[in-house]
Structure 1
Amino acid sequence: MDSPAWIALSLSLKVAGWATAIDLLLGLALGYLLARCRFRGREMLDALLTLPMVMPPTVLGYYLLVLIGRNGWLGGWLQRSFGINLIFTWQAAVIAAAVVAFPLVLKAARSAFETVDRQLEQAAHVLGVSSFGVFLRVTMPLAWRGVLAGTLLAFARSMGEFGATLMVAGSIPGKTQTLSIAVYEAVQAGQDDSANVLVLVTSVTCIVVLVLASKLTPKRLVND
């Protein structure tokens, strides 16, 4: 594999890693909120957070451009206040991948938390354990397999993200050109050998992640 291909692979792993870390933090918090709290509009919030799973990537890319573009309310503020420009950077690719893959972590985390026996948590509270302690010592040890399965799926989805990433990050070799975009560029340029290698690497990586996710998914979640 030539150097540009290795660079694309390295960038894809970096983007997927950061995106998955962001999704894990937000997915744990929001998944626990949706699983444990009852409030008006809860299912509507769940539907809105799940929307990226079914929305066309180009539409997501457009929304991200409106949000973080130079003329967007967040992107414009960052540019004026700190001189930060997110568009056509690897950070923009991370944001796109995180948004697209987030529902996978959220759904897995919510399902995993809902399967935890509430009586065990209440017993820990009675014994004087703090709420945060209960989460760390009771809830997470019982839910971690489901959460990890969703996290691995999110990582695989982030590795393969194309549409939204192309719109907000572009295809700059060595800077924003991830594996999926590199495959597209190779095919467009007629570089079949390079495209075949890139496709093989992407496929093997995703298959490994999916097998791990399948093994880690609790049987109760699969049956449900």
Structure 2
Amino acid sequence: MQWSWHPVQLSFYVASLATIIAFLIAVVSAFWMIQKDRKGKAIIETIFFLPLVLPPTVIGFFLIVIFGKNSWIGQAIETVTGGSVLFTSTAAIIAALVVAFPLIYQSIKTGFLSVDQTIIGAAKVDGANDWSVLIRIILPLSSRSIVTGLVLGFTRGFGEFGATLMFAGNIPGKTQTIPTAIYLAIETGATSIAWYYVLVSISFSFVLLLIINRMKPDQ
């Protein structure tokens, strides 16, 4: 096994795109969930948080079932694109998205709930609709929580291994990310190469977590 920048580049690409998509979904979901009298809220949020507690292999299994050739979703994707999503970089993005979403959602929801309701009420009295309140008031006032969620979600997606290995595979130059490259390096006895990827991962994660710590009010 030889050192390659591709796993590093793919990991950044996968984590970045997964974080962006998860952020958009989380904003809409959190805004919807903080509204009053939402039926089934507890069940929905339990489903949202399942990826945090489920074994990665279970997540990978469900992704294969949902997007595999035997499912209507997988068949629809294959009809439109001409190929399966399995063992592609898209599969790696989906896996990272699933595991990153709960962290991003929880941080964003916490930020939304921290916004003073009197400000929101005043805006609505002045004629602002829900989406205007979200974009012009809630999102800016929740910026600290949003950034924290994005960083945590990104690092989680960046380090995803189990579900990615099952769903996207470990194909060098195609679907191999840093975690799967480390796994292959250890399996083949290329310890020095594994160390390179480990150091890249630790360095980048350290910087991101340092950003979160410096954003704390007491810093």
Output the TM-score relative to the length of structure 2: 0.94
The within-5 A match list for 1:200-215 is: 200-215=199-214
Three-state SS of the structure 1 residue aligned to 2:34 is helix
- Quick one: which amino acid aligns to residue 24 of structure 2? L
Three-state SS of the structure 2 residue aligned to 1:165 is helix
Structure 2 equivalent of residue 52 of structure 1: 51
Three-state SS of the structure 1 residue aligned to 2:87 is coil
Question: Does the 8 A contact of 1:66 with 1:73 survive in 2?
Answer: no
Structure 2 equivalent of residue 222 of structure 1: none
Three-state SS of the structure 2 residue aligned to 1:5 is coil
CA distance in 1, matches of 2:101, 2:73: 20
Matched residues, number: 218
Structure 2 equivalent of residue 78 of structure 1: 77
* Cα 1:218–1:77 shift into 2, 3 Å: farther
Deviation at 1:65, TM superposition (A): 0.2
Spell out, residue by residue over 1:84-133, the C-alpha distance to the aligned partner (whole angstroms, 9 max, x if none). 31001000000001001110011111111111111101111222333222
CA distance in 2, matches of 1:41, 1:127: 32
Alignment partner of 1:124 is 2:123: yes
Alignment partner of 1:181 is 2:184: no
Cα RMSD, aligned residues only: 1.7
Q: Which runs of 5+ in 2 are unaligned?
A: none
Deviation at 1:77, TM superposition (A): 2.1
CA distance in 1, matches of 2:120, 2:66: 40
* Cα 1:152–1:95 shift into 2, 3 Å: same
- Quick one: which amino acid aligns to residue 196 of structure 2? V
Question: Does the 8 A contact of 1:146 with 1:217 survive in 2?
Answer: no
Structure 1 equivalent of residue 157 of structure 2: 158
- Quick one: which amino acid aligns to residue 47 of structure 1? T
Q: Which runs of 5+ in 1 are unaligned?
A: 220-224
Counting aligned pairs with the same residue, the percent is: 38
CA distance in 2, matches of 1:81, 1:25: 24
- Quick one: which amino acid aligns to residue 122 of structure 1? G
Deviation at 1:194, TM superposition (A): 0.7
Deviation at 1:218, TM superposition (A): 6.2
- Quick one: which amino acid aligns to residue 174 of structure 1? G
Alignment partner of 1:102 is 2:90: no
Question: Which 10-residue stretch deviates more, 100-109 or 33-42?
Answer: 33-42
CA distance in 1, matches of 2:217, 2:87: 39
Question: Which 10-residue stretch deviates more, 122-131 or 14-23?
Answer: 122-131
* Cα 1:81–1:5 shift into 2, 3 Å: closer
Structure 2 equivalent of residue 22 of structure 1: 21
Deviation at 1:217, TM superposition (A): 5.3
Three-state SS of the structure 1 residue aligned to 2:4 is helix
CA distance in 2, matches of 1:218, 1:21: 26
CA distance in 2, matches of 1:38, 1:197: 51
Spell out, residue by residue over 1:157-204, the C-alpha distance to the aligned partner (whole angstroms, 9 max, x if none). 011000000001101111100000000101111111111111000011
Structure 2 equivalent of residue 137 of structure 1: 136
- Quick one: which amino acid aligns to residue 91 of structure 2? A
Spell out, residue by residue over 1:13-43, the C-alpha distance to the aligned partner (whole angstroms, 9 max, x if none). 0000011011100011111111224222111
Output the TM-score relative to the length of structure 1: 0.92
Deviation at 1:81, TM superposition (A): 4.4
CA distance in 1, matches of 2:93, 2:128: 37
CA distance in 1, matches of 2:2, 2:30: 40
More helix per residue: 1
Question: Does the 8 A contact of 1:148 with 1:216 survive in 2?
Answer: no
Question: Does the 8 A contact of 2:3 with 2:193 survive in 1?
Answer: no
